[in-house]
Structure 1
Amino acid sequence: MRELTIEDVRAAVKGGSVFACGGGGWVDHGLEIGGAAVAVGRPKLVQVDELPDDAIIITATAIGAPAGRDWEMIGTDYIKAVKLLMDNYDGKVVGIMTPQNGMSSTINGWLPAAALDLVVVDATGDIRAHPTGKFGTMGMAGRIDHETIQVVVGGKRATGSYLELVVKGTTAKTSSVLRTAADMAGGFIAAARLPLPASYVKKHAAVGGVSLAIELGKAIIEVEEQGAEAIIQTICDFTKGEIIGSGKVIKKDVIYSGGWDIGTIVLDVQGLPLTLHVMNEYMAVDDSEGTRLSTFPEVITTLSTKSGEPVSVGDVQEGMELAVLRVKKEYIPLSSGVKDPSVYPEVERALGVSLVEYAFQSQE
């Protein structure tokens, strides 16, 4: 167990931005909420093995689409979501984890943990960001024999879109309800969900996911003054990743629909198109002949060739020069959630491309 600091906040946002894979929130929001966490309390990061098997861990997150522009989430929304879950759950909550890394999602639970005297658990539901909550549920999405509880809080007070919702049911059904609530609240909303014992998290989460983001962030910060090439090389070295294409964005066809940003981004790579398939995050990459180069759950991230910084889907513009990072799945911890075939069809239908046949292929 160790106390998290403002330096950890900055590093978590830097490293989390790589694992954001084009989504995972916003840098400014992550710094704001993380800064508030270390200002109001002393959040502590614990390894899941430090907790007894029966200790209850919940997941704190934000749900929505990175390009959504009409949302409002303030620090108290994250705290209230966790408090409402604790008030409506028949058990003692000990710790908070995040369902994914991201620009802000790596530190999702730090503020409510600090405010409510809980610990931050060094585990993630997925090492990288993903489009639906089901990917981050550590294999619970397909369970119809388990009732869970999920809570959302947020929305613009000035426009009357603020809402609070407590819902119980199967993980799959309640996750769909939360996505609708996020859309109704303006595109993004704070959430707390899925109380599970530490014994389950130990077996099914991406254990050590928060520390991984922090350490990557520290490595990036050390070389920032050396420029873009040094940053990109450091990211590749740390993650064992590779640049699978680099060029100018020649087309961005991404629209907001039903709580998601869906579409494609095309780069001109030495005169040939490279297509990135987007559902909030980058889910697949195809070359000019339609050959699949990378598929979720691999890490797929766009990096600015000018700054070396990760560029989110919402910030990508035509004319930008980007490098596409791929980290093979053999080099990242994979949770049970991303190994669950039942969570893929919803995304495949939205994108119109196959994912599951590639996601479960043995690594070359």
Structure 2
Amino acid sequence: MAKRPITKETGEAAILGGAVLGGGGGGSMEKGRLNLRGALEAGEVVLADIDDIPPDTVLITGSAVGAPAAAEARVEPKDYVRVVEILKENGCPAPGGFIPNECGGSSITNGWVPAALMGLPVVDALCNGRAHPTGVMGSMGLHRDPGYVSRQSAAGGDREKGLYLELHVAGKLGSASSMIRAAADKSGGLVAVARNPVAASYARAHGACGALRQAMDLGERMRKAMPRGGDVVLASILNFLGGEHMVTGAVARKEIVTRGGFDSGSVIVGDFETTFWNEYMTLESRGERLATFPDLIMTLDAGSGLPVTTAEVKEGQTVILFVVPADRLILGEGMRCMELMEEIEPVVGKKIVEYIR
């Protein structure tokens, strides 16, 4: 795939498909559209295949970290530019391109605004082709390199309420990510982040190459199906990704706790119970485990077919619950690190590692 502009139409498709691939997380489509609009107003947004990028080119990951359901969460498009400036002010090399950290309704657009302003490409080598809760999960296995120094910057928060803050941190990847998560908590729940400069050759070997294009293709199929309702949208998703429809029904109960920059809790639809940590983590029915992260567990609004995240789903809402196996997704190296999967277990109170195929 040669370099080509992301238009309003293809950007909207990426946001829609990305929202499904977010698996309950990855931010809202509303915020994604805000980023898309900001990027298109700033200049041309060019999408490039990783094979079109010289291997020694420095790529920076664009991200957003926090709890999307937090009442005071606020990140503006200009914050995504500021975080790149902060990295450069602290000695990081100038980037030659940007990679989004994951798929999601807004996170798939991370890096688009500074890319447009700086005249640099968005490279289709995402850190992960689905959404994930922790920054380390979206760092392409860099935490396994004892010599790697993670450099991360954050900016966000409601300026009018005095919650805006900026931060730069350098150190071991896990420690740096924890500091960024704390910044999200202190700023009201969400921050824009730029992090982990790497060579394009590393992203090619360890990233989710082609995931952005997959989201665009998925979103275009969904867009065409939407006039015919949720069941037809579901069919368009399963025909493209594979997977299985679990249940359509009203949300009987939703429990959510926002703490430490994360959302966690559970959603029950009929006999089916999910747990989530930003993203859906487990799905069970009558005590039987049916799906486990990084499998894609996702909900759609039954009427419109629009993706519904864990932050957005409401008790009484009629939803379509479906599953796509992990082997049908384009995943980054972080999804193959079982030591990171272990971190999920105490949060959701369920075994994870023993269920991952």
- Whole-Å Cα distance in 1 between the matches of residues 118 and 244 of structure 2? 41
Listed one character per residue, the Cα deviations across residues 69-109 of structure 1 (whole Å, up to 9, x for unaligned) are 20221111000101211332342310100111101111111
**Partner residue of 1:324 out of 300, 321, 325:** 321
* TM-score under structure 2 length normalisation: 0.97
Q: Which residue of 1 aligns with 2:280?
A: 282
Instruction: Indicate if the aligned counterparts of 2:230 and 2:300 stay in contact, CA closer than 8 A.
Output: no
Q: Which residue of 2 aligns with 1:192?
A: 194
**Partner residue of 2:346 out of 342, 346, 349:** 349
Q: Which residue of 1 aligns with 2:214?
A: 212
SS at match of 2:213: helix
List alignment gaps of at least 5 residues for structure 1.
none
Q: Which residue of 1 aligns with 2:257?
A: 255
Listed one character per residue, the Cα deviations across residues 31-82 of structure 1 (whole Å, up to 9, x for unaligned) are 1110111122001111111111111111001101121120221111000101
- Whole-Å Cα distance in 1 between the matches of residues 86 and 45 of structure 2? 20
SS at match of 2:308: coil
Counterpart residue identity of residue 316, structure 1 = V
Instruction: Indicate if the aligned counterparts of 2:133 and 2:277 stay in contact, CA closer than 8 A.
Output: yes
Offset of residue 261 of structure 1: 0.9
Q: Which moved more, 1:239-248 or 1:190-199?
A: 239-248
SS at match of 1:83: helix
CA RMSD of aligned residues (A): 1.2
Q: Which residue of 2 aligns with 1:245?
A: 247
SS at match of 1:161: coil
Offset of residue 131 of structure 1: 0.8
- Whole-Å Cα distance in 2 between the matches of residues 66 and 156 of structure 1? 14
- Whole-Å Cα distance in 1 between the matches of residues 87 and 272 of structure 2? 44
Listed one character per residue, the Cα deviations across residues 295-331 of structure 1 (whole Å, up to 9, x for unaligned) are 1111111112111111111221111222212111121
Counterpart residue identity of residue 237, structure 1 = N
- Whole-Å Cα distance in 1 between the matches of residues 130 and 59 of structure 2? 20
Offset of residue 241 of structure 1: 2.1
* TM-score under structure 1 length normalisation: 0.95
Quick one: percent identity of the two aligned structures?
36
- Whole-Å Cα distance in 2 between the matches of residues 89 and 45 of structure 1? 27
Q: Which moved more, 1:163-172 or 1:338-347?
A: 338-347
Instruction: Indicate if the aligned counterparts of 2:130 and 2:329 stay in contact, CA closer than 8 A.
Output: no
List alignment gaps of at least 5 residues for structure 2.
none
Instruction: Indicate if the aligned counterparts of 1:142 and 1:342 stay in contact, CA closer than 8 A.
Output: no
- Whole-Å Cα distance in 1 between the matches of residues 302 and 210 of structure 2? 29
Instruction: Indicate if the aligned counterparts of 2:99 and 2:126 stay in contact, CA closer than 8 A.
Output: yes
Equivalences, count: 355
4+ aligned runs moved over 6 Å, structure 1: none
